[in-house]
Amino acid sequence: MQLGTNTLNWLKYQRELFLMSLSFFSRIPIPADTPYSDERMNRSGRYFALVGAVIGCLCSFVLYLCSFLVPIQIAILMMMVFSLLLTGAFHEDGLTDMADGIGGGMTVERRLLIMKDSRIGTYGAATLVMALVGKLLLLITIADLLNLQSGGSVPTFLMVTLIAAHTLSRTVAASLIFDMKYVSDADTSKSKPLANKQRAGELGFLIFCGLVSLMLFGLPIDDLSLAVAHGLKPELFMKPGLFMKPELFIVALIMSAMVFRWWFKRWLISRIGGFTGDCLGAAQQLMELLIYFVIVIILYQFT
């Protein structure tokens, strides 16, 4: 059965939107003939979370490979370096710019002006260091709580954590576009096409991708007895062969995402009256850190 011309054209269009989103959020090369327009850039917002899943999968794969060569702590550091290279520190740059602008500006106009400055200031530098160190410590703590001290012992859980964090954090960040005002007046801003009116379908697909990534916490593990021997309490498991109770992580992370989005939106409105592209990058970084923090709390209470 052959697909109709309209269906093939639609699939081609969706592929091009995904590639455009991939090139926007990462350094992954895409075909040079991929068409670009502001309208297409606007429509590509639906795939931001899916791009996060791709980045999370690649980071998980690098972490897995490195764990065979070096201790888990060093493997996590190498994975973080890979992540920065893969994304071009795109979101980290937004975090530092937002910190400089909101931290150093006394008025809305001054804050927005500072955000456009490519130079990094004291607030931005301090925030970036804290974010990177915090991410490293949280991931190492997750590994330690799972008693993963030897190379080659990275479990599915740690890899799923990375995929879920990269996906859900981008879901939350991109969702801010749908009900917030874009306040940057820079016509050259790369994020400006995203500020145009978005459709409900885009938001629905974003949320769908974020929720699917959380479902990965229900994946089977290799050996329940080995996990229990490593210090994990049996009550975390639904039955032999299944991951730690997935609903515990899923509900906690969904609630955390909702509370963070509510707070961050109100905070941005009170500071600059809306959002900028830098604010979206900051939202992604802060939400990713929060995901790791919530997982650490859950593991710490049950190990």
> Would residue 207 count as lying in a domain?
yes
pLDDT tens per residue across span 95-125: 999 999 999 888 999 999 999 888 899 999 9
Residue 41 falls within a domain, yes or no? no
Residue 54 lies in domain: 47-302
Cβ atoms 94, 194 nearer than 8 A: no
Q: 156-195, pLDDT tens digit by residue?
A: 788 999 999 999 999 999 999 988 999 976 555 666 566 5
Work out how many domains the chain is built from and give that number.
Answer: 1
State the pLDDT at residue 102: 94
Question: What is residue 1's predicted lDDT score, i.e. its pLDDT?
Answer: 47
Find the mean pLDDT for residues 238-250. 61
pLDDT tens-place string over residues 3-15 = 677 888 888 888 9
Which single residue is written with the structure tokens 């550091």?
77
Tell me the backbone φ, ψ of residue 70, rounded to 5 degrees: -140, 165
Which residue type sits at 107? T
Interval 137-151 mean pLDDT: 77
- Domain-located, residue 241: yes
Q: Which of helix, strand or coil describes residue 244?
A: strand
| pTM of the predicted structure, to 2 decimals | 0.88
CA neighbor of 90 nearest in space, from 177, 196, 173? 173
* Confidence label for 297 from pLDDT (cuts 50, 70 and 90): very high
